[in-house]
Structure formats: C-alpha cells, structure tokens
A and B are shown apart, each in its own frame.
Chain A
Amino acid sequence: MPLANIEKTFMDNLLKSSVKESEFLTQLLPLSSLTKEKQLSIYKSNVNGAYQKVLGQVYPACLNILGEDYFNQLCRAYRFKYPSTDSDLNNYGEYFTVFVKEQSDLHDELNDFEYLAELALLEWHWHASFYADNDSSFAFEKLAKVEPSEQNILIFILSNSFSLHSSIYPVLDIWKANKSSVEGNQEFSMPEAETYFCISRVEFTPKITLLNNYQYELLKSISNGLSLTQLTERDFIAAGDFQNELTRFIQNGWVTGFSLLELRD
C-alpha cells in the first residue's frame, strides 16, 4: 500500500468513529507481545488521552461538574465530531462550547446542567484570553484628528483578549467553585437578574469584570460594529454616560483602537 494510503487509513482509524479497522490492519504484522489490533489500540488510546488532557485543562469546571467518566465520554465523542485541524493544540477545544450545546439538546442526563454551554463558553474565553495576540495601544492623537463628518464611518476595535458574556444562571459562582476544586460546591441560587460580565487580559492574566446593563449593551453594540454615529443615535446609549463609559473601556484595555470604514457607494 502506498505511504499516502497508509497514513490516511491510520489517521481515519484514530479520528473517525465509523471506520472498519480491517483495511489498516492488513498493513500491520503482529509483534510477539502485541497483536495488530493491540498495536492500533495503543495509538487510539494515546490520541484520546492527549485530547482528554488538553480539554480537561481548558474546561476544568466542566470536567469537575460532569465527573471524569462522563467528561471523557464527551471528549471521545468530540474527537470524532470535531477532529483537530490545527497544529496548535491550544486551539483544539474551540468547538467544545458548540458541542456541549449540541449534546445538551440531545441528552436528557444533561438537563440538570442547563448552564453548561455558558460555563464552557466562559472557560474557553478564559483560556483564549491568555494566549490572545497583544493589542496596540489606543491612538488618541489619531482620534483627535477624526473629522465630525467621519464619525459615521468610525468603528471601535475591541481587544484581542476581550469577550462579552451574559447569563441567567450563576455561571460565575459555579465556575469559581469548580475550576480548581475537585469537590466544588454544587448548590447555587439563581441570580435575580441576568448577569453581565466580560473577560480580558490585564497584563498577562485573564480577568473577569462584572458589567451593568448599560455597559453590556454598549460593548455589545461596539462588538457588532456599529459606527460612532450609530452608537450616539441609539436612544438608550444617548440616555447614559457614553463619553465616560467609552473612556473607561479604553482605560481598561477593552477598546484598543478604531478604524475608519471605507464608504460604500
């Protein structure tokens, strides 16, 4: 069998769920202590172990809450549904948040964990924030030179390490109690209102900051790419302290720059 086929069938056996081993096994010879099936199973187990390890590191609270057995089952299923397509193992868990949501819709045993997808999202962004590219510092001088007529094409840029979150569940409490403890507290009271928060990296460490409704909506509008004119024209934004909040966002390193969009014909 040509090398290309050997590699392809080998990898298929490691990363696809419905592959018959027989085609690849014809390429192997038994060893005195390892049958052909055992030889392949060592690699399956190695790959699975590496994936489980990295997902456990990125999603420690999910692992803690679901328990090792169930979490590992999810990891196995995730490996087949979203096999790694990136040489950087740090990126491997990116779709686990989507996967958890899909699984929650499919499996009744996850009904008790309605918050799981949001918790996973928090954990992913916490991880991604640590590895995010550095930002350039805000160009205040350039901003001062923007003409009033250009405000309708001015959009703000958020930090590479920034993510915005909202939840009706006490995800922050659940995360804090479970991210490093094996016996986290599983009793949490539901918050009276939706919680808003953001994750960003301060110097080298990811940080969570609670937000009020106004800050959340303003940051959401910025992340949706609304222009400065559009922002100031929105009734609810105009009703708040837009200038001060924007200054605070820049000081916190959440808003790191701006760009002037090309006007479309």
Chain B
Amino acid sequence: MDVFNQKRLNDKPISGTGIGLRSPHVNEILTDLPEIPWFELLADNHLVEGGLIPLQLEKICQHYPVTFHSVGLSLGSVDPLDMNYLAKLKKIMKQYDIAWLSEHCCFTSVAGFHSHDLLPLPYSEESLSHMVNRISQVQDFLGEQILIENVSSYMKFAETTLDEADFISELAEQADCLLLIDVNNIYVNHINQGIDIDNYLTSLPAERIKEVHLAGFDDRGDFILDAHNNPVAEPVWKIYESLIQQIPHVPTLIEWDNDIPSLQRILDEAQKAEVIADKYRSGNFNYAVS
C-alpha cells in the first residue's frame, strides 16, 4: 500500500507550506492565482454536486495541488461507517486527483446523531482496536492510505490506559496508516492535560508523518481552546521547530477557520513556517499574493 501512495504523492507534489482554503479567499485566489504551493480543503464542504462549489473545486484543482481534510468520517464511532459519505469522498477524490485524505482520531457521531465537533476517545485498548479496524476499512475502500490527525482534547477519561502519542503511534503501526501531526493540538493538550511534549515528539514514528498542521488557539483563562482564530503562538512555533527538524521535507499547513484575516496575513504565517523548515533543508518558497 505504501508504494501506491508514494506514487500519488509524487504525482501531486504536496510540498512546502500550504494553507487551508476558506471561502472568503476563493474568489481572490481564482482571480489572482497567487503562488501558493498547495491547498487543503475541508472535504465535507465539497461533497455537494450542484452549483458553484464543484466548479470552484475544479478550478482550484486545475491550478494547485490539493489535499482533503474531513471531519465527518467519525472513525472512532461505534456506528457503522457511513458508506454513502465515503463513496462520495472516493468519487470526488478520484475526479479531481486529490493527493490524499486526512481525518481525525476522534468520533463526531453516534446512534445516528451528529455533534459536528471532534469528540475525543478514551485512549484504551478497546478504542485502539476499534480505530484500527475502522481505518483499515476506509483504506481498503479507498485503495490508499489515509492520514490520521491528533486532536485537541479537553477531557480525561478514566478508561484511558495509553499516552496519546503511544496511542497514535500504535494506531499508525497497526492500521498501516499515515499521520498528520497538529502541533497546536499538542500544545493545547500540554496546557490543558499536562502531556509531556518532548516525550510526545520522540514517541512518534517520524517515517509515518506526511503532514504537519499549525494553527492558533484562544486563551479562555482556565484552559486554551483550539479555535483556529489566531496567529500561531510562540510556544507552538518552538514545538514546530523541534518536530520539523526531524522531518524537514514533510509539508506543513496553516489552518485559520474563525475570525479569518486577509489571505496575505495567512501567507505570512506560511512564510514563517517555511523559514523555520528551510533551516533544515535546501530550497525555499516565496509567498506573494500578487
């Protein structure tokens, strides 16, 4: 399976620092076609088959390499997989040659009800085998590996027996999937849950990490919320540097979903990530909107 994925990764060069495409910027991007190495699109927003959305997707894919990030697969749910949703994903990914799909290590729905929020799982042996099983089903159906992202969690489950990093690593190994490491989520869990960052980073299987996320959080006083509404915070940049020096050629993505600023402001964050990663590799990318 790895060989197949490698071919896709080579076909669509997802490299350098991309940004999450958000609707306020779509027209500007399609008009000016700024030099941005790649985009990540929220898959759930692009499953509609009528009107403007598919046309925009087609145009973006004509000019840029694109990855899909989904929130609706609900991999951790004990409900059966939504094969309808998965079939739509597969069809659209094939149609537009989407480089890869990433999903979260969480559940979003159960008993037919949808929270539309990333709900954490206890890191237990039961959750692990359930997630391994689900990821395998998805990968078999899609015919390719998917990337699993670590999530922010504001809960400590009594059933948890494994460290988050061990859970994720074991998951990747057993399901033979790839990883998307969200550095802001590691920091959020460090502040709220006290997880050990150094230990986390050294536990991860570097060879399975195919993407890194950077985002901003919101300080709520007694906790910090993974709100994607701010620039990347200083301590998060530091963790990023520790991670990216081990894997300098792994692409990075800037996520900014709320209080969305100008495109240039997001590209400034991308440039910052690129400067850090570039210290550990050769070749740079110059970000300019026009």
Contact = CB atoms under 8 A, between A and B. Distances in A.
Contact of A47 (B76, B116, B122, B194): B116
A8 B111 contact: yes
17 contacts: A3-B122, A8-B110, A11-B111, A14-B115, A26-B158, A28-B157, A29-B158, A31-B156, A31-B192, A34-B223, A38-B223, A85-B112, A88-B47, A89-B44, A89-B116, A92-B116, A161-B51
A30 to B, nearest CB: 7
Interface stretch (A130-138, A227-235, A249-257): A130-138
Contacts of A86: 114
Interface residues of B, number: 46
Interface string A18-58: 00000000111111111000111011001100110010000
Interface string B108-144: 1111111111010110101100100000000000000
Contacts of B223: 33-34, 38, 42
A29 B154 CA distance: 11
Given A4-B78, A32-B194, A89-B44, A15 B113 contact: yes
Given A85-B112, A204-B55, A29 B48 contact: no
Contacts of A29: 156-158
Contacts of A4: 78
B222 interface: yes
Given A4-B78, A34-B154, 14 more contacts: A3-B78, A3-B126, A3-B130, A8-B111, A11-B110, A28-B156, A33-B192, A43-B117, A43-B119, A47-B116, A87-B44, A88-B44, A88-B47, A132-B50
Contact of A87 (B114, B124, B155, B159): B114
A39 B46 CA distance: 32
B194 A31 contact: yes
B197 to A, nearest CB: 16
Given A11-B110, A130-B52, A134-B49, A3 B119 contact: no
A125 interface: no
B77 A7 contact: yes
A212 B82 CA distance: 45
Q: How large is the interface on A (under 10, 10 to 19, 20 to 34, 35 or more residues)?
A: 35 or more
A87 B154 contact: no
Contacts, number: 128
A89 B115 CA distance: 10
A151 to B, nearest CB: 30
A43 B78 CA distance: 19
B155 A43 contact: yes
A15 B115 contact: yes
Nearest to B127: A3
B64 to A, nearest CB: 21
B68 to A, nearest CB: 14
Nearest to A54: B116
A3 B85 CA distance: 23
A50 B116 contact: yes
Contacts of B1: none
Interface of A: 1-4, 6-8, 10-11, 14-15, 26-34, 38-40, 42-43, 46-47, 50-51, 54, 83-90, 92, 130-134, 160-161, 201, 204
B225 interface: yes
Nearest to A84: B114
Contacts of B111: 8, 11
Interface string B23-62: 0000000000000000000001001111111010000000
A257 to B, nearest CB: 15
The 8 closest A-B pairs by CB, nearest first: A87-B72, A204-B52, A133-B50, A84-B114, A134-B50, A7-B110, A4-B78, A42-B154
Nearest to B154: A42
B51 A201 contact: yes
B4 to A, nearest CB: 27
Given A38-B222, A87-B109, A92-B116, A6 B48 contact: no
